Amino acid sequence: MNDRALKTSMILFLLIPYGILCGKIIIENSPHFSLIILAPLAILLLLLYSKISVLLYLLILVGPYDLPYPKFILAGATLGLINIIKSFGLDVFIFLKAIGTNWKKRLFSDGAARYYAAYLIISLLSILFSPSKSNGVKLWLALIHPFFVYIIISVVIQNKETIRNIASLFVLSGIFSVILATIQIILGSGLKVEDVLRLQAFGLSKNAYAAFLVIMVIFCYTLYIVGNRIRYLYYFMLFLIMLILTGTRSAMLALLITTLLLYWITKRKTKGMLIAFLLVLAVWNLPQSINRITTSHVGFFDTIDKAMKGESVDDYLNTGNLYGRTRFWDTGLDLFRSSPIIGNGLGAAAVVYEVAGNRKIISTQGDVTRIHSEWIRVLSDVGLIGFLTLFVSFYLFGKNAIHHYKHAKTDFTRSVSLAAFLSLIAYIIIGVTEVVSSFYYQMGVPVWLLLGYSNNLYHQEKNS
């Protein structure tokens, strides 16, 4: 992929959604017009390059929820299904097209990858006794897609020029997403500045988008501090942090913890301004957080009163409310206790369950994200066996990233390796309150991309 191809792809990457937004202005409420604009640009992209596979894959790979095109292109359910087929199909396609000669040896010598592959096998087998096999299959595809990203970036792509362009595309996707949010506000979509993360118009939840921005900040910050990169990254980071901290508490907590870890690991004088900025915004966000923890749309005590009377509280449970969130978790833990060793089958957490007293406390309507905890979902779906296998794989991935950081020969590789480690920590933290593995969330893609990128760069240096 030469410079001309990269520059042209970046231009097209920005022009496509701009064209869609223009179409929305010209013909309001006409989703077909969006497709009319999108199709010629997609064909142009294919005609420009004969060897499009790697470039096309990376362009689709690096955005939250793949590319954050406006939701009015297709209905949400259709879009989700297309994303599953598209992502998995592209994984297989590029795996076959860009395969190297030594990928098997390097992949199977990676203990972390072996354990995660075992977790995928356990999850696949659990679908056989899942109460919702369709949900299980969709979730399994969502689990294997980021792992394919890791394999492709880590051991399949051998071209140095291609692998180094990933960083540019990754940063670009973050800038691109922020630009889209700003345009939506300017066009009078009803979004407020403080609600910039609530991007339902793009098919994203505010938490999913904030989680992606957390990874962006970590990556930019490590490039700036460890890799001594361009100064503008620092100011871009501050802007992203402002967006994150006005949108979601879990992302704020993940960012605060990873910032402290970065300071502790590097043992360098990080920018005091950044630390102060984090603390100020954290304090500023505290009243809002306390309010959301203690109240819901209809009131905390109203919710409890409904539950005590034995009435359905489906409409009263706000997941931003602490009581509502813990009721979701209680349901997941009840599932886990019913089958603690092997679990209830992948996708079980996405099914409607009754709790004690025949009172319906939670109705997930097939949406796995509504359990609101990745780790409780893992426990309820695949039990202790699957959970411990996943825990060991994450431990080894983190250990590998720290090893790469300590023994890398260049600042850039050290930056990427540390960013991969901190992103994994952020993934684990946000997973406490969100199901980060689902296709709707897609946070796993940038995390696994950085883990694979770190592994690839380290082995390239080691073998050179």
The 10s digit of each residue's pLDDT in 112-131 is: 888 999 999 999 999 998 88
Question: Cα dihedral sign for 111, 426, 202, 16?
Answer: negative
d(CA 235, CA 274): 10
Task: Give residue 312's pLDDT band: very low, low, confident or very high (50, 70, 90).
Answer: very low
In a domain, 322, yes or no: no
Q: For the residues 270-274, what does the mean pLDDT come to?
A: 54
The 10s digit of each residue's pLDDT in 299-311 is: 333 444 444 444 4
The 10s digit of each residue's pLDDT in 206-240 is: 666 667 667 767 777 777 767 665 565 666 666 66
d(CA 152, CA 13): 22
Residue 134: per-residue pLDDT: 78
Q: For the residues 414-423, what does the mean pLDDT come to?
A: 87
Q: Which residue has better confidence, 312 or 261?
A: 261
pLDDT of 253 higher than 60: yes
Residues 6+ apart with CB under 8 A from 454: 400, 401, 404, 413, 416, 417, 419, 420
In the three-class reduction of DSSP (H, G, I as helix; E, B as strand; rest coil), residue 363 is classed as coil
Determine the structural domain holding residue 182 and report its residue range.
Answer: 80-267+378-463
Candidates 203, 202, 166, 176; CA nearest to 61 is 166
Judge contact between 211 and 251, C-beta under 8 A.
yes
User: Amino acid identity, residue 218?
Assistant: I
Q: Which helix (H) or strand (E) holds 332?
A: helix 322-338
Out of 61-75, 89-103, 204-218, the most confident range is 204-218
Q: Which residue has better confidence, 394 or 96?
A: 394
Q: How many domains does the chain have?
A: 1
Q: Which long-range contacts (CB under 8 A, 24 or more apart) does 27-35 make?
A: 29/72, 31/72, 31/73, 31/74, 34/70, 34/72, 34/73, 35/73
Task: Give residue 402's pLDDT band: very low, low, confident or very high (50, 70, 90).
Answer: very high
Judge contact between 64 and 54, C-beta under 8 A.
no
Q: Which residue has better confidence, 255 or 23?
A: 255
User: Amino acid identity, residue 18?
Assistant: Y
Candidates 437, 323, 458, 298; CA nearest to 378 is 437
d(CA 415, CA 445): 19
Residue 297: per-residue pLDDT: 40
Beta bridge partners of 298: none
Rounded to 10°, the helix 160-186/53-61 angle is: 40
Exposure b/e, 416-433, CB count within 10 A at least 16 = b: bbbbbbbbbbbbbbbbbb
Beta bridge partners of 353: 362
Tell me, rounded to whole angstroms, the distance of Cα 461 from its chain centroid: 28
d(CA 371, CA 290): 22
Residue 207: per-residue pLDDT: 63
In a domain, 25, yes or no: no
Residue 222: per-residue pLDDT: 75
The 10s digit of each residue's pLDDT in 171-186 is: 555 555 555 555 555 5
Residue 314: per-residue pLDDT: 44
Beta bridge partners of 362: 353
Task: Give residue 188's pLDDT band: very low, low, confident or very high (50, 70, 90).
Answer: low
Residue 396: per-residue pLDDT: 94
In a domain, 243, yes or no: yes
Candidates 231, 245, 249; CA nearest to 279 is 245
In the three-class reduction of DSSP (H, G, I as helix; E, B as strand; rest coil), residue 90 is classed as helix
User: Amino acid identity, residue 452?
Assistant: G
In the three-class reduction of DSSP (H, G, I as helix; E, B as strand; rest coil), residue 362 is classed as strand
Q: Would you report the helix, strand and coil content of the chain in percent, each value rounded to 5?
A: 75, 0, 25
Q: Which residue has better confidence, 405 or 42?
A: 405
Task: Give residue 388's pLDDT band: very low, low, confident or very high (50, 70, 90).
Answer: very high
The alpha-helical segments, DSSP class H, found in 53-159 are 53-61, 76-97, 103-108, 111-126, 133-151
In a domain, 111, yes or no: yes
The 10s digit of each residue's pLDDT in 7-43 is: 455 455 445 544 544 554 454 444 444 444 444 444 4
pTM: 0.71
Q: Which residue has better confidence, 399 or 192?
A: 399
Judge contact between 463 and 410, C-beta under 8 A.
no
In a domain, 257, yes or no: yes
Candidates 336, 345, 431; CA nearest to 384 is 336
Percentage of the chain surpassing pLDDT 70?
Answer: 39
The 10s digit of each residue's pLDDT in 320-378 is: 445 556 767 777 788 888 889 999 888 887 664 433 333 344 433 444 446 778 898 89
Q: For the residues 265-294, what does the mean pLDDT come to?
A: 54
pLDDT of 194 higher than 60: no
Tell me, rounded to whole angstroms, the distance of Cα 133 from its chain centroid: 24
Residue 410: per-residue pLDDT: 84
> Of 121-130, 335-344, 389-398, 436-445, which gets the smallest average pLDDT?
436-445
CB atoms within 10 A of CB 216: 26
CB atoms within 10 A of CB 336: 23
Residue 332: per-residue pLDDT: 79
Residue 254: per-residue pLDDT: 79
Q: Which residue has better confidence, 150 or 13?
A: 150
Per-chain mean pLDDT for the chain: 64
In a domain, 120, yes or no: yes
d(CA 54, CA 284): 43
DSSP code at position 120: H
Residue 389: per-residue pLDDT: 96
Instruction: DSSP for 152-197, please give it.
Output: IIIII---HHHHHHHHHHHHHHHHHHHHHHHHHHHTT-S--GGGTT
